[in-house]
Amino acid sequence: MADPHTQGAPGADGAEARDGQAAPLWGGRFRATPSADLTRFGASLPVDRRLWEEDIAGSKAHARMLGAQGILSEADVAAIVSGLDAVADEIREGRLAFDETVDEDIHMAVERRLTELVGSAGGRLHTARSRNDQVALDSRLAAKRLASGLMAACERLEAALLARAEAERETILPGYTHLQPAQPVRLAHHLLAYFWMLSRDWARLFAARRAADASPLGSAALAGTTYPLDRGATASELGFSSVIPNSLDAVSDRDFALDLIYASAMAMLHLSRLCEELVLWSSAEFGFVTMDDAHSTGSSIMPQKKNPDFAELVRGKTGRVYGDLMALLTTMKGLPLAYDKDLQEDKEPLFDAADTARQCLEVVAGMVETLAFNRARMREAAGEGLMAATDMADYLVSKGLPFREAHGAVGRLVARCVAEGKGLEDLALDEMRAESPLFDEDVYGWIELEAVVDRRATEGGTGAAPLAVQLALAEDELARQRAEAPAA
Ligand code: ARG
């Protein structure tokens, strides 16, 4: 038997509806409709249904503007606006059943329900509008909201890092290069390194929000419209700073989505590095931190285990956010102007990247707020790695020895310490003098951890003086962000 979806004379209203299904909005010129499977394939409703608030806000603004411009009657505008409010109530209360075999996307679902509720006025809403400018509008409103949420989460983590840093000015731990103990640093200094990474993420999120902050509404399908629209009115009602100046660009541009995914990916990169250190530091071998029980998991077989699962999962989720970025970059390349259905693939990576990064920022903030630093263990490790060797050589330099000779003398002392399993401070003065007669009693004070650390007094260094400056700069940065943060 022939496929019922491709057979049959068109009904009076155009394409014949499938059993129990409404004819699509474009029924007029069609003689057959896609199968249920194809309809499902073409639908974005399962992904874009979350845009319902943006869609309804955009439609109300559009209808009011059409009324103000004399394109719709005041009675129609009133019916549309109250009908849209009723649709919003139904969705909010879970009373509207979405079905992607009936409605391709949230725009069609809202318009269909509106028309069911208010009749012919509902059919006038789409005057001078296309789903092409509508979807660009909804996505931009969503991107702005997502960016604001991400900025708030980012700021929470920055504040947590800064607060923990303030309290750890005196804590000294090994600093590493090549993951080998290199020079001792203050824990506050180490934590602030992440603070600055996150502050750059905040700035990227702020810029991504600004990229979304221009209205495409009124561009219609691609070329603008014959109706006398007031694009500035809808833009300002919806909280946009400006109107996109080119209708083709307005319906084709997804840079704002890519900017937000990229900003999310960079934040994930930083979270992943921080989480890697937390995983390492919470190992028995390092023992620098103890994760709060409420931020750890156990093992179903090994009773002694306490696993940094959530830190690992953040590290793991970084990969999918990079995937979101690559997916949309690849979707966009080579698309001719203006709207192409490929663009429908923008929302999944956008939502996934922003949701994932937001969640991870919150999770890591909770972790940083609650973890315990094992100060004694950090200090012990800082003393273990012969990390005062550079300073010991500098000591000899301060007594007039050329640095190369000093490096050689201290290198031989280091070899002796390694062979005997002891620290530089454990060497007797005689042992030191065997390598250089310039060593004196004051060398012991010179190589104490605090002295070693505070000698790094250059701007941005780990010494107490530049650290105090850095903490103040971080406070200023956070205050500036709080002042600049847009209201939701
Ligand atoms: N569902 C579409 C999307 O998400 C909406 C725009 C469709 N426009 C069109 N002409 N088919 O991109």
Ligand 1 atom with least separation from CA of 47: 4
395 falls within a domain: no
d(CA 373, CA 380): 13
Distance CA 439, CA 395 (A): 8
Domain finish residue from 127, 146, 173: 127
Q: What is the pLDDT of residues 198-239, one digit of tens each?
A: 999 999 999 999 999 999 999 999 999 999 999 999 999 999
Q: Is the peptide bond before 338 cis (omega within 30 degrees of 0)?
A: yes
Q: Which of 45, 105, 134, 331 is the pocket-test mutation for ligand 1 (most atoms within 8 Å of CB)?
A: 105
Give the pairing type, strands 242-243 and 214-215. Answer: parallel
Concerning whether 126 is annotated as a catalytic residue, the answer is no
Separation of CA 135 and ligand 1 centre (Å): 7
Residue-wise pLDDT for 429-485, tens only, equals 999 999 999 999 999 999 999 999 999 999 999 999 999 999 999 999 999 999 999
Q: Whose CA is nearest to atom 4 of ligand 1?
A: 344
Q: Which atom of ligand 1 is nearest to the CA of 44?
A: 1
Catalytic residue among 35, 178, 398, 407: 178
pLDDT digits (tens, 9 = 90+) for 234-262: 999 999 999 999 999 999 999 999 999 99
Q: Is 173 left (phi over 0), alpha (psi -120 to 50) or beta?
A: beta
Cα dihedral 12→17→21→26 (10° resolution): -80
Residue 41: domain span:
27-127
Kindly report, residue by residue over 272-323, the tens digit of the pLDDT.
999 999 999 999 999 999 998 888 888 888 888 889 999 999 999 999 999 9
Q: For residue 248, how far is its CA from the centre of ligand 1 (angstroms)?
A: 15
Number of domain units in the chain: 2
> Is any ligand 1 atom within 6 A of the Cβ of residue 132?
yes
**Looking at the DSSP assignment, which residues form a beta bridge with residue 172?**
186
Residue 104 included in any domain: yes
| 326 shares a domain with 192 | yes
Q: Which of 98, 127, 156 is the endpoint of a domain? A: 127
Task: Note the pLDDT of residue 11.
Answer: 39
pLDDT tens by residue, 326-372: 999 999 999 999 999 999 999 999 999 999 999 999 999 999 999 99
146 and 101 in a common domain: no
Ligand 1 in reach of 339 Cβ (< 6 A): yes
- Is residue 160 located within the same domain as residue 199? yes
17 vs 342 pLDDT, higher one:
342
pLDDT at 16 over 50: no
Tell me the pLDDT band of 5, cut-offs 50, 70 and 90: very low
Ligand 1: centre distance to CA 131 (Å): 6
Residues 295 and 330 in one domain: yes
Which atom of ligand 1 is found nearest the CA of 104? 1
Q: Is 365 exposed, middle or buried (0-12, 13-18, 19+ CB in 10 A)?
A: buried
* Confidence at 21, pLDDT banded by 50, 70, 90: low
Question: Against a cut of 0.95, is the pTM above it?
Answer: no
HSE at residue 445, side-chain half, CA atoms within 13 A, is 3
* Environment class of 97 (CB within 10 Å of its CB; exposed 0-12, middle 13-18, buried 19+): exposed
Alpha carbons within 13 angstroms on the beta-carbon side of residue 172 total: 24
Q: Is the CB of 341 under 6 A from ligand 1?
A: yes
Ligand 1, pocket-test mutation among 106, 340, 344, 346, most atoms within 8 A of CB: 344
Quick: pLDDT tens for 101-156: 999 999 999 999 999 999 999 999 999 999 999 999 999 999 999 999 999 999 99
Domain identity same for 206 and 158: yes
Q: What is the pLDDT of residue 23?
A: 63
Q: Which helix (H) or strand (E) holds 185?
A: strand 180-186
156 shares its domain with 298:
yes
Q: What is the CATH number of the domain that holds 35?
A: 1.10.275.10
455: exposed, middle or buried (Cβ count in 10 Å: 0-12, 13-18, 19+): middle
- Out of 299, 300, 398, 407, the active site residue is 299
Tell me the β-bridge partners of 7: none
- Quick check: 17 pLDDT over 60? no
Q: What is the pLDDT of residue 2?
A: 40
The residue whose C-alpha atom lies closest to atom 2 belonging to ligand 1 is 344
Same domain (yes/no): 153, 278: yes
Closest C-alpha to 120, from 73, 86, 85: 73
State the closest ligand 1 atom to the C-alpha of 339, by its place in the atom list counted from 1. 10
Q: What is the pLDDT of residues 380-422, one digit of tens each?
A: 999 887 889 999 999 999 999 999 999 999 999 999 999 999 9
Nearest CA to ligand 1 atom 12: 344
Say yes or no: CB of residue 44 within 6 Å of ligand 1: yes
Ligand 1 near 343 CB (within 6 A): yes
Residues 6+ apart with CB under 8 A from 44: 104, 105, 106, 344, 347
Please state, in angstroms and rounded to a whole number, the distance separating the CA atoms of residues 339 and 342. Answer: 8
Q: Is 344 in the pocket of ligand 1 (CB under 6 A)?
A: yes
pLDDT at res. 305:
83
Q: Is 131 in the pocket of ligand 1 (CB under 6 A)?
A: yes
Atom of ligand 1 nearest to the CA of 221: 10
